[in-house]
Amino acid sequence: MSSLKIFSGNANPALAREIAGYLGLELGQMRLGRFSDGEIDCAIQENVRGCDVFVIQPTSPPVNEHLMELLIMLDAFRRASARRMTAVIPYFGYSRQDKKDKPRVPITAKLVADLITAAGASRALCMDLHSLPIQGYFNLPVDNLFAAPVIIEYVESLQLRNLTVVSPDAGGVSRARAIAKRLDAQLAIVDKRRESANVAEVMHIVGDVDGRNTVIYDDMIDTAGTICEAARALKKAGAQRVFACAAHPVLSGPALDRILNSELEQVVVTNTIPLDDSKHSCSRIKVLSVAQLFGEAIRRIREETSISSLFV
């Protein structure tokens, strides 16, 4: 594995170090700072000519800063003659605008995919993309991992009886159904009407949750409005205990306060996005690591072997 090198931007160095440790490697040496006017200053401080380089950088908040870091790092590796550059993007920002569903709006997911391709990436490795068609927006190979195996293992350890997995909206039904099947649980759906961005109004529950333990499953938690309203509706419908699980803890704005004042017993997330101390120490938030999943995927990509078993 002498030609395999792992580098990290400033978005989530802790996850990058954990992935590198799983592979028995140290993070590559790079200077990534700022000029006095705020422009990004990047310099690779070791030889990468002919190497298989993996750049770990979720485009999490502040998304514009971290996206530009990723693009500049990829350009630096291309100009340093790396043999192949894989953009490892645990959280893919700008993914929620993935289609033109109203007049005069952009498709930012496609735009960002084009930028990453233009910067020189040879392939991309992501986790729980907001919608699966985003893979087709890249003109290069994309592997989309799922946090489900890590989350399922934790939920099973809770030994919840009479379990129902709940999709917070119609768009997440297939995701919730797959989790329910793995947990041998029932499925319920929250009928939600979104009045505006980041504002959700729960209408009613489709499915029986009376007297049952429930797990709301989604790909990300942003302002937590959706899951907190869903938890309130589930309790009103007679649910006994309410948990929430998601791969990406964006947790912006009033998210923490909403969780602390909600009916949620626990919110289970992964470390695709680093949490600040106030969120990480919150007793209602449980953070699971996906480093082993990413590390194993990187190993198999490097060895040109199948990673399909990691998708379930």
- For 221-272, write each residue's pLDDT tens digit: 999 998 999 999 999 999 999 999 999 999 999 999 999 999 999 999 999 9
CB 20 within 8 A of CB 26: yes
What per-residue confidence (pLDDT) applies to 204?
Answer: 84
> Do 182 and 234 have their domain in common?
yes
> Do 216 and 193 have their domain in common?
yes
> Do 209 and 225 have their domain in common?
yes
H or E stretch at 225: helix 225-236
> Do 248 and 161 have their domain in common?
yes
Q: What is the domain range of residue 20?
A: 4-145+291-311
What per-residue confidence (pLDDT) applies to 200?
Answer: 55
> Do 270 and 295 have their domain in common?
no
Buried b / exposed e along 204-214 (16+ C-beta atoms within 10 A): ebebebeebbb
How many Cα atoms occupy the beta-carbon half-sphere of 255 within 13 Å? 22
> Do 8 and 138 have their domain in common?
yes
The H helix count followed by the E strand count for the chain is: 9, 14
Contact partners, residue 242, CB within 8 Å, separation at least 6 = 214, 216, 231, 234, 235, 263, 264, 265
CA distances from 24 to 6, 184, 298 (A): 11, 36, 12
> Do 59 and 183 have their domain in common?
no
> Which residue out of 192, 235, 236, 279 is catalytically annotated?
192
CB 301 within 8 A of CB 163: no
Peptide bond into 62 cis (omega under 30): yes
Q: Chain-centre distance of CA 170, in angstroms?
A: 20
- Give the chain's largest Cα–Cα span: 61
Q: Give the chain's domain count.
A: 2
For residue 181, indicate whether it is catalytic: no
Tally of CB atoms within 10 A around 29? 11
> Do 251 and 171 have their domain in common?
yes
> Do 121 and 250 have their domain in common?
no
How many Cα atoms occupy the beta-carbon half-sphere of 68 within 13 Å? 12
- How far, in Å, CA of 260 to CA of 201, rounded? 19
Residues of the chain with pLDDT under 70: 1-2, 192-203, 312
> Do 175 and 205 have their domain in common?
yes
> Do 280 and 297 have their domain in common?
no
Q: What is the CATH number of the domain that holds 233?
A: 3.40.50.2020
The SS3 call for residue 302 is helix
Closest CA relative to residue 296, chosen from 99, 149, 131: 149
CB 307 within 8 A of CB 287: no
> Do 68 and 181 have their domain in common?
no
